[in-house]
Amino acid sequence: MNRCDELATCTEEPDRLTRPFASDAIGRADEHITTWMRAAGMTARRDNMGNLRGRYEGAPGSTATLLLGSHVDSVRDAGKYDGPLGVLVAIAAVQALHDRDVRLPFAIEVVGFADEEGLRYGTTYLGSRALAGTFDEAELDRADARGVTMAEAILAFGGDPNRIADDRWSGGTLLGYCEVHIEQGPVLEARDLPVGLVSAIAGQSRHSLTFTGVAAHAGTTPMGSRKDALAAAAVFVQAVEAYAGSHEGLVATVGQLIVQPGAANVVPGEVTLTLDIRHAVDADRILASERLLDDAARIATRRSIAVTTTQVSDNASVACSPRLTSSLSQAVRDLGHPAIQLASGAGHDAVVMAGLTEIAMLFVRCKGGISHHPDESVAEADVAVAIGVLGRFLDLLAAGQ
């Protein structure tokens, strides 16, 4: 908990926690984490993308590696636990081995991912994509708000942008990747449980819709002859809420509307909006997309205006490994807690790591389900449970269970 507080002081902005990719703030956080990794008997290095990689060697002759970790970067005005908690819990579990002078029949690599949130370049999972070997080098040309390209930022942070391919995992057999993360939702709190297992990470569809009516004078255009794009969009927003609200496990959000011309005295002629749909079952998500886009078309037709839709992204849900999750569940039960499973509505580095190896995730209860906010909060006792569970999980894997 003290370490989470300490990392929270590593920020780009004086009064709030903002820790973007390849910033001085993340550099300072990495220095702290490196010290803690070394104290836990690990070697630590940073790869070209800026992932901090701490390695705790296994017993002599061991060849496989288990990956643990989470991300070190943050959103703007972030909380203290989203990301860093997973890195610090992993280090604490390794520290417990080191303190007992125990070497497992596999090595452990704890990764502090360089970028998960995508704050600086608007593109997420830079760190895990480099490690999983799925980073697209065309993205190196992206510029941040100050015009600094990703390649320049990587160079300034000590990495070689021409050698991102070297970051891809090349250390032999992987046993899997396990990530501890705050839940970012209310389920564990409602069930009065310190931790829970993630069954799957929800798939996500993102669409952009544009309703096009006719901009007109707000004073002289009678109500009956308007083609108000925003009024149509408003009906659509309600339809989205109603549909998601009546389908189990589905969440759908209109998070952004751009209203044109956007003046108090003009009937809105055009509205472009975003639609984000998530479900742990891909078929349900795809059906919801179809139904809601049909609704948009119907709403537009009824009002004699036009609507165009574009799919922005389509990410399938990612299932957690039954084998690793079963060991993790056993570890939770061994510590005397019920092991429940829940789907993650938020994306995580584990999504990308699933392309490289089997994944498992442990959620830690967070107060009020609040995240991406300075009020983000976890209980010390729950963090202790998470450290204990991860330690027990390592024992079970070492015993081949």
Q: In angstroms, give the least distance from the CB of 179 to Zn ion.
A: 9
Of the candidate residues 83, 127, 176, 203, the single one contacting Zn ion (CB under 5 A): 83
Q: Which range in 78-86, 144-152, 210-218, 220-228 contacts Zn ion by CB under 5 A?
A: 78-86
Q: Which residue is nearest to Zn ion (CB)?
A: 82
Q: Which range in 33-41, 83-91, 92-100, 226-234 contacts Zn ion by CB under 5 A?
A: 83-91
Q: In angstroms, give the least distance from the CB of 361 to Zn ion.
A: 11
Q: Is 116 or 228 the residue whose CB approaches Zn ion more closely?
A: 116
* Residues 361-400 contacting Zn ion, CB under 5 A: none
List CB contacts of 376: < 8 A, sequence separation 6 or more. Answer: 78, 79, 80, 81, 82, 182, 366, 367, 370
Q: Is 50 or 83 the residue whose CB approaches Zn ion more closely?
A: 83
Of the candidate residues 47, 73, 82, 382, the single one contacting Zn ion (CB under 5 A): 82
Q: Which range in 81-89, 136-144, 232-240, 296-304 contacts Zn ion by CB under 5 A?
A: 81-89
Q: Is 84 or 269 the residue whose CB approaches Zn ion more closely?
A: 84
Round to whole Å and give the CA distance between 285 and 55: 39
Q: In angstroms, give the least distance from the CB of 169 to Zn ion.
A: 21
Q: In angstroms, give the least distance from the CB of 85 to Zn ion.
A: 9
Q: Is 86 or 213 the residue whose CB approaches Zn ion more closely?
A: 86
Q: In angstroms, give the least distance from the CB of 164 to Zn ion.
A: 22
Q: Which range in 55-63, 80-88, 282-290, 314-322 contacts Zn ion by CB under 5 A?
A: 80-88
Q: Is 82 or 284 the residue whose CB approaches Zn ion more closely?
A: 82
SS3 assignment for the chain:
CHHHHHHHCCCCECCEECCCCCCHHHHHHHHHHHHHHHHCCCEEEECCCCCEEEEECCCCCCCCEEEEEEECCCCCCECCCCCHHHHHHHHHHHHHHHHCCCCCCCEEEEEEECCCCCCCCCCCCHHHHHHHCCCCHHHHHCECCCCCEHHHHHHHCCCCHHHHHHHCCCCCCEEEEEEEEECCCCHHHHHCCCEEEEEEECEEEEEEEEEECECEECCCCCHHHCECHHHHHHHHHHHHHHHHHCCCCCEEECCCEEEECCCCCEECCEEEEEEEEEECCHHHHHHHHHHHHHHHHHHHHHCCCEEEEEEEEEECCEECCHHHHHHHHHHHHHCCCCCCEEEECCCCHHHHHCCCCCEEEEEECCHHHCCCCCCCCCCHHHHHHHHHHHHHHHHHHHCCC
Q: In angstroms, give the least distance from the CB of 247 to Zn ion.
A: 26
* Residues 134-193 contacting Zn ion, CB under 5 A: none
- 73 scored as a contact of Zn ion (CB under 5 A): no
Q: In angstroms, give the least distance from the CB of 27 to Zn ion.
A: 19
Q: Is 199 or 208 the residue whose CB approaches Zn ion more closely?
A: 199
Q: In angstroms, give the least distance from the CB of 82 to Zn ion.
A: 4
* Residues 279-318 contacting Zn ion, CB under 5 A: none
Q: Is 109 or 349 the residue whose CB approaches Zn ion more closely?
A: 349
Q: Is 53 or 71 the residue whose CB approaches Zn ion more closely?
A: 71
Sign (positive or negative) of CA dihedral 362, 367, 369, 372: negative
Q: Is 105 or 118 the residue whose CB approaches Zn ion more closely?
A: 118
Q: Which residues pair with 274 in a beta bridge?
A: 208
Q: In angstroms, give the least distance from the CB of 73 to Zn ion.
A: 9
State the residues that interact with Zn ion by CB under 5 A: 82-83
